[in-house]
Amino acid sequence: MERLARRFVTAIESSDRAALEAIYAPEAVVWHNYNNADQSRADNIAAIANHPKLFKSFQYTDIRRAYFDGGYVQQHVAQGIKVGGQSFAVPVCMVVAVRGDKITRVDEYFDSAQDARPPQHR
């Protein structure tokens, strides 16, 4: 589980579409608290693949994880620099469901007022 969690972070930080496709189960969904909606696997991968257009740098820091049967909870700070030069640091909590070696669901929680993405990319 730890290895999968590390691979997931690396794939997100590097906007690695192929790695995300390998990590997510075909039926995976990502739910966000700020809009109370499920995002499809394909839409989530496309959004993450778009990060280089939005951010000069993007990384997860202060990562803390707790594992449970069938997944893990991860708290971290998403931080970096926007393409316009502004820095950001957004505390995030994710509950990640895992089956086998694939992620089947992510429930992501953060304060939408701190969202680093431009409004048209939310």
Average pLDDT score over residue span 51-80: 96
Say how many CA atoms lie within 13 Å of 120 toward its Cβ: 3
Which CATH number does the domain 2-121 belong to among 3.10.450.50, 2.40.10.10, 3.40.30.10, 1.20.1600.10? Answer: 3.10.450.50
Average pLDDT score over residue span 65-71: 97
What are the extents of the domains in the chain? 2-121
Contact of 7 with 40, CB cutoff 8 Å: no
List residues bridging with 82 in a β-sheet: 55
pLDDT at 113 (0 to 100): 55
pLDDT at 32 (0 to 100): 93
pLDDT at 114 (0 to 100): 54
Phi-psi region at 62: left, alpha or beta (left = phi > 0; alpha = psi -120 to 50): left
Average pLDDT score over residue span 21-32: 97
Structure tokens at 84: 């316009």
Q: pLDDT-based confidence at 116, cuts 50/70/90?
A: low
DSSP state of 120: G
pLDDT of residue 120 exceeding 60: no
List residues bridging with 92 in a β-sheet: 76
Average pLDDT score over residue span 99-105: 97
